[in-house]
Amino acid sequence: MANQEGNIEEEKDHDAWLNSMTSKVQSIGSRPSQTDPCTIYRVPSSIRQGDTNAYEPQIVSIGPYHQAKQSLQAMQEHKWHHLHALISQNRDHSLADYVKEIHPLEHRARSCYSENIKLGSQKFLEMMVLDGCFIIELLLNVHGKRAIEVGPIYSTEWMVPLIRQDMLLLENQLPFFILQRLFDLINRSNSPSLVDLALNFFNHIPPRNEAIPPSKVVHHLLHLFHSHIIPTPSERSLQVVPTTASGRRPPLLPRSIPSTREIQQAGIVFKKTKAGSFLDVTYRNFVIKIPALSIYDSTTNTLFRNMIALEQCYPESGTYFTSYAIFMHCILQTTTDVMVLKQCRIIEHWLGSDEEVVHLFNRMCKGLTIDFKDNYLSGLTNRVAEICETDWHGWRARLMRNYFSSPWSILQLEAMVLVLVFTVVQTFLVILAYSGHPRP
């Protein structure tokens, strides 16, 4: 009897468990189809463990991930002020028009986030309109297209830089098509595009780039900035790609590039170069050319980490920042390596010491994964590693360093060569004269 009751209870538990699984599967099937790729992610713990603060907003939340944080609520009132200013200066459209315009985009916007957003429809639309209009009004104010500036944001020097930094966090984004739809409601003539306004706003964040704005689809502001920084196709073609005698590119085997000091000992020199993108690192004829990089305290760390997080989560964005960070981590192993690049004017930093530069890239690269064939610097890495492993190149470098390190050494060698040549010629003439003289 007891066994029968136990079996009945077990069957009930099994039925309940099966029903639970079925409801979960059905709930997935009932969700709206994803029309846009997921592009706004929670940064994985394997990446964020190196510096959690680099991925979290300090002053303003954009989008759903950090909306409920108590420490960010002070900025909510400023958002409402910006929304009021935007509507007041564009009387052709009411608040209802903005909501009506965004409502059909709700499902598409939700699908852009990697997590299921548990806000109701009204709260979600309110967040999209409020945050979107705040961003647009902020961009217009900074660009100087507004006669009235709202609140203490623009009169306090430290606020705009912090907001600017928060707006380039992967977890702190709105879909760009939401911003564009809201921006299109504002009737203006001879006004910059939303892309131009955004790039102008972020132009104060180093590293800057002189490349033209990206022409491909933009997913959000961080993606826009990332697309603007990466090398153009013409610049990418300058990277070293070793080929075989037949002209075909051989399969690349992963190699680790040595440190700056070891590279120098192999006879390779570093030179600062100008390029459209600071990522445009090239190698040719024993010269590695690297554009200048300015390293600030929290700004550079936060920007690099979020660019890398975007690449790690969204493969379509490429691996340029990831590849560059790994490259810098490899060549900057000691403070001596940092000093070499400082002397070449490739690196300038405002950190406490050169050792902090080494630690910056070391911590940044923890937890990263990259397929070697996707590394745009793989050809350069392979070629430099091959040279450093060849004894002849080390001998050549020592010869140049010990005997040709100064103009005086070269002049001395030239003088010695001339003396040797004159001696040989004189000896030859003596022998010639002796051989041609008739014997008695």
| The two structure tokens encoding residue 73 | 């609520």
Is the domain of 271 the same as that of 147? no
Contacts of 405 (CB under 8 A, 6+ apart): none
In percent, the amount of the chain with pLDDT more than 70 equals: 77
The type of residue at 236 is R
Unique residue bearing structure tokens 């009387």: 91
Q: What is the pLDDT of residues 208-246, one digit of tens each?
A: 555 555 557 899 999 999 998 888 665 554 455 444 444
Spatial CA neighbour of 104 closest among 81, 91, 121: 121
What is d(CA 318, CA 307) in angstroms, rounded to the nearest whole number? 10
Q: Which amino acid is at 426?
A: Q
The count of structural domains within the chain is 3
Which residue has better confidence, 174 or 391? 174
d(CA 60, CA 72): 6
Kindly tell me if the per-residue pLDDT of 438 is higher than 80: no
Other beta carbons within 10 Å of 286: 15
Residues 363 and 410 in one domain: no
Q: How far apart are alpha carbons 158 and 37 in whole angstroms?
A: 35
Single residue among 170, 188, 206 that ends a domain in this structure: 188
3-state secondary structure of 296: coil
Least confident of 177-181, 184-188, 338-342: 184-188
Residue 315 backbone phi and psi in degrees, to 5: -55, -25
* Cα 218 from Cα 175, distance rounded (Å): 9
Please check whether residues 66 and 165 belong to one and the same domain.
yes
Residue 205, pLDDT above cutoff 60? yes
pLDDT given at position 334: 95
d(CA 62, CA 13): 43
Count the neighbouring beta carbons within 10 Å of the beta carbon of residue 385.
Answer: 19
Domain annotation covers residue 327: yes
Contact 311, 317 (CB under 8 A): yes
Residue 147: pLDDT over 60: no
- Distance of alpha carbon 231 from alpha carbon 404, whole angstroms: 36
Q: How far apart are CA 327 and CA 253, in angstroms?
A: 16
Do 295 and 427 reside in the same domain of the chain? no
- The last residue of a domain, from among 137, 171, 188: 188
Please tell me the distance from the alpha carbon of residue 318 to that of residue 364, in angstroms, as a whole number: 17
Q: Is residue 6 part of a domain?
A: no
- Answer yes or no: is 30 within a domain: no
User: What does the pLDDT look like over 6-27, one tens digit per residue?
Assistant: 566 666 677 777 777 877 777 6
> Is residue 413 one of the residues assigned to a domain?
yes
Using only the alpha carbons of the chain, give its radius of gyration. Answer: 31
Report helix, strand or coil for 6: helix
pLDDT value of position 88: 87
Q: Is the pLDDT of residue 404 over 60?
A: no
Same domain membership, residue 56 and residue 105:
yes
> Does a structural domain hold residue 296?
yes
Residues 181 and 258 in one domain: no
Instruction: For residue 386, name the pLDDT band (cuts at 50, 70, 90).
Output: confident
Domain that holds residue 152: 45-188
Considering the entire predicted model, what is its pTM?
0.81
Statement to judge: residues 148 and 280 lie in one domain: no
Q: Domain ends where: 145, 162, 188? A: 188
Residue 278's nearest CA partner among 207, 212, 342, 340 is: 207
DSSP-assigned beta bridge partners for residue 270: 288
